[in-house]
């Protein structure tokens, strides 16, 4: 750290031309700079961890049938609320609704773009 101070002139940047403070040694300056960097890193890390904990607290709610994903299974919203949890929710889709929606979409595509029948191919 001492070479960094000499290379960048940190003591000059911090104190200007008035670095002749009585009893203030270079090691004390390095300790203060290290503590300042530690404080910034620790504070940033704490904020990131708080955000991660906040986001992990959300539950998935199927946007179609409103079932809740809890402990690796989907349960009805009413059953979940009876248990008295106080947790914010987010949206997701359960397997059954995903399959039903995919089937509905496929049927809608087939209605919009019907496949040509074999009679039309032979008469033309």
Distance CA 73, CA 79 (A): 13
Task: Tell which wins on pLDDT, 21 or 83.
Answer: 83
71 and 84 both lie in a single domain: yes
**69 CB contacts (<8 Å, ≥6 apart)?**
59, 60, 61, 62, 92, 94
Q: State how many domains the chain has.
A: 2
Pair (9, 38) in one structural domain: yes
User: Is the pLDDT assigned to residue 91 strictly greater than 80?
Assistant: no
Res. 96: pLDDT tops 60: yes
73 part of a folded domain: yes
Indicate whether this model's pTM tops 0.75: no
Q: Report if residue 47 sits inside a domain.
A: yes
Q: What is the pLDDT at residue 31? A: 83
Range of the domain at 106: 59-113
Instruction: Judge if 70 and 51 occupy the same domain.
Output: no
Q: Residue 121: inside a domain, yes or no?
A: no
Q: Report pLDDT digits (tens) over 25-76.
A: 677 778 888 999 999 999 999 999 998 888 777 878 888 888 888 888 888 8
């Amino acid at each position: 750290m001492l070479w960094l101070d000499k290379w960048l002139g940190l003591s000059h940047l911090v104190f200007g031309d008035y670095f002749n403070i009585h009893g203030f040694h270079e090691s004390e300056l390095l300790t203060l700079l290290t503590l300042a960097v530690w404080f910034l890193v620790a504070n940033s890390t704490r904020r990131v961890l708080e955000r991660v904990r906040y986001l992990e607290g959300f539950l998935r709610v199927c946007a179609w049938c409103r079932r809740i994903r809890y402990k690796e299974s989907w349960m009805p919203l009413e059953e979940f609320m009876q248990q008295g949890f106080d947790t914010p929710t987010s949206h997701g889709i359960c397997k059954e609704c995903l399959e039903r929606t995919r089937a509905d979409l496929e049927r809608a595509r087939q209605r919009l773009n019907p496949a040509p029948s074999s009679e039309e191919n032979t008469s033309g």
